[in-house]
Structures are given as C-alpha cells and as structure tokens.
Amino acid sequence: MAHEQAHKLAIFRGNLKFKSNVSKIWGVFVVLSIITIIEVALGILRPDFLVTHKFLSLNLLNWIFILLTICKAYYITWDFMHMRDETVGLRRAAVWTGVFLIAYMVLLILIEGDYIYEVYKNGFIKFNF
C-alpha cells in the first residue's frame, strides 16, 4: 500500500531533494509563491504585447494566467495531496475524471453560448421538431 512507504523528499522528479518534511514543505511553498508572484506581477504590469496579441480569440496574458493556474493546481495535487505516492490507477482515475468533466463543461458552454449568440443576432429561434 502507498501508506506503508516513506514520503518522498524530492520534487521536480528528484532534481531537488530535501532533508526533512518541514524543509520540503517550505520548498514547495517557495515554488508556489514564485508562480503566484509572477501571476501578480503580470496582472499589475499588463504588458501591451501580451494584452494586444491574441491566440484562439483570447489574449496571451489570459493564456499565461490559465497555464500558471493549471501548473499550481497540478503541483498542489501532486505534492500536498500525495498523488505521487498513489498507484497508477488511482492517479489516472483522478486526472481523467477531471479532464473529461472540464471538456464536457467547455462543450456545454460553447453550445449554450452559440445558442445565446444566435438568439441575440436573429431574435427568437423556433425549432422544428
């Protein structure tokens, strides 16, 4: 079982090792703080080239926020929720469930958003059943 093993005291696939759990917690805190400081700095500065350039109809600054937030969420789950110590099946079940739920929600938002756009554009839409 995963609970019988000792906690791993390394992060970044063993590239950074710690001597105790307390030092590891502080190391993880520093990593997450650096990512948060980058997000806050970008939010305050709002560089023009990141705001004006778009990718998939969303400006680059928003994409950076989304990616950094996903990285933090993954890292919190991996380290603080001890997913690295669990079996492969449990890790996949947790990850794939989230992936499919997010994909489903995005699909629903796109379908409903398109419907609302069409209603505002053309007025009332009557369906022929």
Span 54-75, mean pLDDT? Answer: 85
Number of H helices, E strands in the chain: 4, 4
Q: How do residues 16-44 score in pLDDT, each as one tens digit? A: 777 777 887 888 888 899 999 999 999 99
- pLDDT at residue 7 in the model: 62
pLDDT grade, residue 61 (50/70/90)?
Answer: very high
Helix (H) or strand (E) holding 11: strand 10-11
pTM of this structure:
0.65
- pLDDT at residue 123 in the model: 77
> What gap in Å lies between CA 22 and CA 80, rounded to an integer?
12
- pLDDT at residue 44 in the model: 95
Span 103-115, mean pLDDT? Answer: 85
